[in-house]
Amino acid sequence: MGTAHNRISGVFYYFLSILAGFSRRILTWRICQDMKGLNAELLLAEAKELYPQAASPRVISDNGSQFISKDFEELVVLLEYEHAHSSCMKLPRKLLIFP
């Protein structure tokens, strides 16, 4: 999952996106006013709905609270994704890899 934020008129907005691992193409995205786990979960479920043919997709994320929550981990298991945690220093920010 890719993330970015921007402040507009004093309000922070967060851009969440799901990227293809090889092409880095944005597969789906949303703009949110917070980085709560629910937004990441909804985007992950939407990606599964849009790309049901993806075989063994892998989520690579940092250890942000939205990515280590019990609800997020349960969704990853339910959707049959693999989840790996990494430091932001080693990989670009949060990525969802579809082989």
pLDDT digits 0-9 by tens, 33-78: 988 888 888 998 998 899 888 877 888 887 777 888 888 889 888 9
User: Domain residues for 69?
Assistant: 2-97
Distance of alpha carbon 47 from the chain centroid: 9
d(C-alpha 28, C-alpha 42), whole Å: 11
Q: For the segment 17-44, what is each residue's pLDDT rounded down to a tens digit?
A: 888 877 888 999 999 998 888 888 899 8
- Model-wide pTM > 0.75: no
Which pLDDT score, from 0 to 100, does residue 99 have? 47
What's 15's domain CATH number?
3.30.420.10
Looking at the structure of the chain, the number of domains it has is 1
**What is d(CA 56, CA 98) in angstroms, rounded to the nearest whole number?**
8
